[in-house]
């Protein structure tokens, strides 16, 4: 008897518990909804938390981060960052499906298409005079070609005055400094010369620090596909336009052109010589970075910012001779290189304010405050006296110790507002007192920061900085760059683009690894498959937007 | 006392499948059971039936920001795109191929391991083997694929061992050959899940009446014969039920493992339906196509489940429905 009633009791307990779980699940939802509507009426100066979604992986700043603390003390604003973990499309899909947006999000055409951002142009005009001034010249460019509203605030490319540059972060054929030094600092112009040097060096030094020397790396992992796809357009002297080459304002794909074939044929030859890493097409990004940080990779085609943290690791290990120089290679010395370009407005990047934001005006006012010079100095240089010093001429400088700290990732988390700054509107070029907006671009800072090895290296070439390896960029055409064209989610153009990338991902590695006699066969199969796609739809969409840019952006 | 008795008899009647008229007294006598089913019913309605409404998306050009009334209806357009795309049939083949490998390998290895574990008489050894073998279950695929990629690298442990044993002369690039890919996926699945899958079989084995073993022993059966004629028939019902449920998941070959291990060289063998749907549906912002893919998978799953169940019934086995 006792046993029976006990088991009934136990059953009812389980029932209660499971009901409780369900009810609390529902209850939680309601509570959070209620919370949202309550916070709608915020005081203008009270503490204000901004929730932010960052569309890439990152690290949370430390809770006592000094810049965020300063922002909190002076503007009353705190941030709660959510970084991407996993796949961006899946994450966005979930966010969009539930209309579950934080206050601000980094730009993505999917979010724009889903109507997740609020139009900003009127709010900026009304509440943010400094932002308006900052973007004045670029106002029309920021408008969405599909409906003419401004949804996101480009984070890079809005310059005041001249562009300061001692640092090149774009695409190039990179080569270890040790290779150039070994052969007496030659001037390398063409692809053939480049691979000759690598072949000679690899033969002479089959191992580096005990590990086998790797001649050339081609990264093609997930969305980081330019290592495999993008080189041909540069080799014929065009700037980075993504998947197309624009000639006289007309865009066409280059994946199946003869000048592309020439490049992959060369890679095929180099593979016969054993210069290309066997695992190059199966590796993931982490493996790629690990190889570069080990100092065994002689060269690769990549964008500087992409492998920069691996290069920083080499600097930390004091293996300066294993760091890289970017070379603007072309097929023929008569072609003028156009790797380095004048910065264009970074469209489809930077923050936008979501439709769920509690107080968009307050957020805009925060940016309006941060775009002013005093705050920009704090965000880039840091706190005067702590992170940099001002000499008697009013120039900003850093001591050796301060300089060293900035390369330390852990220090950065506690002393820099890196995440916020990277995607926020920012001043670029020079402050009104003549100091560069970026410490790395301050000429005396750059020279003082050079290690003896680099000084010797640059002196051998007679250059001021590594940027001098590149030709001066010509004026950009008004429509440049084509890679920032929004292909429109779900359109035929976008599908063709995806298929084109699929084909390249599949066939180009095959072509490069093919036996000598079979290269042509694979190549023909590849171009045959491309021929089956509706490439026209893709090219037409790009040309349509380029034309729209010419019409709308031209200053009349 | 009386009440509990009637309840028990009612339960027994239901189990025997005899038709009993639904009267208030029956309901009243089973009320505890009914209360207990409420949370589950709520769960199923909320998470299984309500989302079916979302299937309407497959027949629209769905745009997230619009109301239901504002959506544009397009009929079977997305299904047509799906079935007329060459690569769809390729990913379907890959999905089925890898799924079959996972299914067969998963079952065979788990049952064999369970039978072997059951024969171990030293409890400590048995527990140790069991614990070690099911630990990988708790790792996420991203970690497992990292381990797999490292082990299969040209200087990884697999190539090292094969070379030390003089089975191969040069390291094999496992992940760059399409023909190895299904095998790699199957082996990773086995490594990750085999220990976990044995748990249910071990439980089933434990519930076999010891008297059967005693009887077999008196008849002079060896260990091997006891395994064949007592243990396996004893867990057959469990195997069949699990098999039916797995057949329903035949299009769930996995996503992470193929997505994370795949690369351009093996893309013809590595892409599954889930990856296809991600690429052409979700990544394009084309949620309608993604939904169409989902519906296709569900329809196939339900059909397979019914076929398997019907077959089991015809063979006189335990069944699910």
Nearest-Cα distance to chain B for A53, in Å, is 18
Q: Are strands A159-160 and A297-303 parallel, antiparallel or unpaired?
A: unpaired
Q: Which residues of A437-475 are buried (b: 16+ CB within 10 A; e: fewer)?
A: bbbebbeebbeebeeeebeebbeeeeeebbeebbeebee
Whether residue A444 is contained in a domain is answered as no
How many Å from the N-terminal Cα to the C-terminal Cα in chain B?
A: 34
Q: Same domain for A213 and A65?
A: no
Can you state the angle between helices A258-272 and A191-204, rounded to 10 degrees?
10
At A28 the pLDDT is 39
Number of Cβ atoms within 10 Å of the Cβ of B135: 12
Given A89, A96, A279, which is nearest B173 (Cβ)?
A279
- Based on the fold, state whether residues A53 and A192 are members of the same structural domain: no
What is the pLDDT at residue B72?
Answer: 86
List, for chain B, all residue ranges whose pLDDT scores fall below the cut of 50. Answer: 1-16
Say how many domains are in chain A.
2
Report d(CA A455, CA A462) in Å as an integer. Answer: 10
Same domain, A381 and A515: no
Give B284's contacts in chain A (Cβ within 8 Å): 489-490, 494-495, 498
B267 touches A at CB < 8 Å: yes
* Residue A491: per-residue pLDDT: 84
Asked if A120 and A226 sit in the same domain, the reply is no
What does pLDDT average to in each consecutive run of 10 residues of chain A (556 residues)? 52 56 44 38 69 92 93 93 87 88 93 91 93 89 88 86 76 96 95 96 94 94 90 94 89 94 96 93 89 95 94 91 95 93 83 94 94 94 92 89 84 91 91 86 84 93 92 86 84 90 93 93 95 94 91 74
Q: Any chain A CB within 8 A of the CB of B8? A: no
The verdict on A298 and A377 lying in the same domain is no
Are A510 and B260 in contact (CB < 8 Å)? no
Residues A154 and A91 in one domain: yes
Same domain, A333 and A349: no
CATH number at residue A143: 3.40.190.10
Does A325 map to a domain?
yes
Q: Do A282 and B176 touch (CB under 8 A)?
A: yes
Q: Name the strand (E) or helix (H) holding A547.
A: helix A535-553
Task: Answer whether A23 touches B (CB < 8 Å).
Answer: no
In the prediction, which pLDDT does A3 show? 46
Residue contact B264–A509, C-beta within 8 A: yes
ipTM, two decimals, is 0.75
Give the nearest partner residue to B286 out of A99, A282, A489, using CB atoms: A489
Would you call B129 an interface residue with chain A, using a CB distance cutoff of 8 Å?
A: no
State the pLDDT at residue B2: 44
Are B263 and A282 within 8 A, CB to CB? yes
Of B42, B263, B268, the CB nearest to A22: B42
Tabulate helix, strand, coil % of chain A (nearest 5): 50, 15, 40
Distance CA B313, CA B50 (A): 31
Contact B35/A at CB under 8 A: yes
User: According to the model, what pLDDT value does residue B182 have?
Assistant: 94
Q: How far apart are the CA of A88 and the nearest CA of chain B, in angstroms? A: 9
Which residues in chain B are contacts of A18 at CB distance < 8 A? 39-40
Which residues span the domain enclosing A263? 171-339+485-553
Pick from A211, A490, A498, A507 the residue to mutate for testing the B interface (most B CBs within 10 Å): A490
- Do A186 and A155 sit in the same domain of this protein? no
Cα nearest neighbour of A110 on chain B: B285
Based on the fold, state whether residues A191 and A280 are members of the same structural domain: yes
CB–CB contact B38 A19 (8 Å): yes
If asked whether residues A353 and A321 sit together in one domain, one would say no
Q: Which of A400, A421, A437 is the last residue of a domain?
A: A437
Residue of A nearest to B173 (CA): A279
Q: Residue B212: CB partners within 8 Å, gap ≥ 6? A: B230, B234
**Structural domain contains residue A69:** yes
A356 contact B CB<8A: no
Q: Specify if A358 maps to a domain.
A: yes
Q: What is the pLDDT of residue A276?
A: 95
Are residues A88 and A180 part of one domain?
no
Query: Going from the N-terminus, what domains does chain B have, and what CATH number goes with each?
Result: 1-75 (no CATH), 76-314 (1.10.3720.10)
Residues of A in contact with B286 (CB under 8 A): 489-490
Write out chain A residues lying below 8 Å of B263, CB-based: 220-221, 281-282, 505, 509
Domain assignment present for residue A8? The answer is no
Residues A53 and A139 in one domain: yes
């Amino acid at each position: 008897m006792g046993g029976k009633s006990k088991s009934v009791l136990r059953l009812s307990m389980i029932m209660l518990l499971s009901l409780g779980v369900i009810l609390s699940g529902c209850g939680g939802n309601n509570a959070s909804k209620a919370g949202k509507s309550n916070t709608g009426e915020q005081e203008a100066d009270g503490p204000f938390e901004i929730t932010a979604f960052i569309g890439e992986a990152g690290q949370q700043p430390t809770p006592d981060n000094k810049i965020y603390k300063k922002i909190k003390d002076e503007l009353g604003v705190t941030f709660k960052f959510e970084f991407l973990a996993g796949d961006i499309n899946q994450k966005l899909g979930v966010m969009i499906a539930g209309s579950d947006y934080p206050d601000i999000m980094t730009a993505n055409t999917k979010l724009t298409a889903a109507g997740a951002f609020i139009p900003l142009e009127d709010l900026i005009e009304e509440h943010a005079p400094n932002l308006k001034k900052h973007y004045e010249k670029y106002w029309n460019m920021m408008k969405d070609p599909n409906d003419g509203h401004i949804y996101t605030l480009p984070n890079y490319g809005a310059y005041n005055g001249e562009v300061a540059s001692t640092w090149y972060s774009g695409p190039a054929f990179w080569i270890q400094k040790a290779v150039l030094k070994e052969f007496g600092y030659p001037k390398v112009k063409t692809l053939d010369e480049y691979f000759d040097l690598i072949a000679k060096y690899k033969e002479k030094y089959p191992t580096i620090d005990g590990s086998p020397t790797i001649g050339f790396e081609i990264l093609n992992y997930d969305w980081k596909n330019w290592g495999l796809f993008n080189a041909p357009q540069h080799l014929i002297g065009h700037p980075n336009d993504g998947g197309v080459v624009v000639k006289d304002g007309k865009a066409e794909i280059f994946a199946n052109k003869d000048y592309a074939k020439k490049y992959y044929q060369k890679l095929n030859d180099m593979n016969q010589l054993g210069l290309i890493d066997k695992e190059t097409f199966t590796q993931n990004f982490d493996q790629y970075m690990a190889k570069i940080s080990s100092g065994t990779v002689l060269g690769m085609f990549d964008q500087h910012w992409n492998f920069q943290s691996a290069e920083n690791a080499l600097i930390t290990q004091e293996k300066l001779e294993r760091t890289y120089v970017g070379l603007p290679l072309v097929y023929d010395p008569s072609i003028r290189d156009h790797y380095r370009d004048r910065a264009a407005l970074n469209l489809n990047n930077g923050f936008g304010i979501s439709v769920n934001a509690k107080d968009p005006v307050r957020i805009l006012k925060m940016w309006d405050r941060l775009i002013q010079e005093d705050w920009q100095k704090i965000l880039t240089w840091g706190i005067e006296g702590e992170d940099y010093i001002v000499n008697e001429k009013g120039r900003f400088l850093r001591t050796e110790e301060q300089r060293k700290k900035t390369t330390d990732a852990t220090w950065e988390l506690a002393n820099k507002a890196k995440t916020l700054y990277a995607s926020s509107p920012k001043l670029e070029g020079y402050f009104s007192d003549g100091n560069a907006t970026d410490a790395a671009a301050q000429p005396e800072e750059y020279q003082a920061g050079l290690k003896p090895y680099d000084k010797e290296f640059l002196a051998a070439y007679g250059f001021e900085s590594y940027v001098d390896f590149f030709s001066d960029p010509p004026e950009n055409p008004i429509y440049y760059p084509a890679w920032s064209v929004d292909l429109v989610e779900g359109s035929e153009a976008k599908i063709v683009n995806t298929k084109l990338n699929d084909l390249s991902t599949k066939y180009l590695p095959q072509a490069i690894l093919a036996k000598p006699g079979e290269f042509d066969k694979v190549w023909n199969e590849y171009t045959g498959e491309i021929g089956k796609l509706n490439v026209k739809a893709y090219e037409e969409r790009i040309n349509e937007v380029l034309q729209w840019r010419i019409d709308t952006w031209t200053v009349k | 006392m009386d009440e509990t008795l009637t309840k028990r008899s009612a339960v027994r009647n239901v189990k025997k499948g005899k038709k009993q008229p639904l009267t208030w007294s029956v309901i009243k006598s089973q009320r505890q059971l009914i209360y207990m089913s409420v949370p589950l019913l709520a769960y199923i309605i909320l998470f299984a039936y309500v989302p079916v409404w979302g299937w309407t998306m497959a027949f629209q050009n769905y745009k997230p920001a619009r109301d239901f009334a504002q959506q544009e209806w397009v009929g079977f357009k997305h299904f047509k795109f799906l079935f007329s795309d060459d690569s769809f049939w390729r990913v379907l083949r890959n999905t089925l191929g890898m799924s079959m490998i996972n299914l067969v390998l998963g079952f065979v290895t788990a049952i064999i391991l369970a039978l072997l574990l059951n024969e171990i008489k030293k409890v400590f050894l048995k527990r140790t083997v069991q614990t070690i073998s099911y630990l990988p279950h708790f790792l996420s695929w991203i970690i497992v694929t990292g381990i797999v990629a490292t082990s299969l690298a040209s200087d990884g442990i697999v190539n090292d061992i094969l070379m030390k044993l003089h089975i191969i002369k040069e390291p094999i690039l496992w992940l760059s050959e399409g023909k190895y890919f299904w095998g790699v996926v199957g082996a990773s699945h086995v490594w990750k899940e085999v220990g976990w899958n044995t748990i249910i079989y071990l439980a089933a084995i434990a519930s076999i009446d010891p008297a059967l073993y005693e009887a077999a022993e008196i008849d002079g059966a060896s260990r091997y014969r006891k395994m064949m004629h007592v243990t396996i028939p004893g867990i057959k019902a469990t195997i069949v039920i699990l098999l039916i449920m797995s057949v329903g998941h035949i299009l769930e070959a996995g996503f992470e493992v193929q997505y994370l291990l795949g690369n351009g060289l093996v893309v013809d063998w590595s892409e599954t339906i889930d990856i296809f749907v991600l690429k052409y549906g979700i990544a394009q912002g084309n949620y309608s196509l993604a939904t169409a893919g989902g519906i296709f998978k569900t329809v196939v799953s339900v059909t397979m489940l019914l076929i398997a169940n019907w077959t089991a019934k015809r063979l006189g086995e335990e069944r699910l429905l």
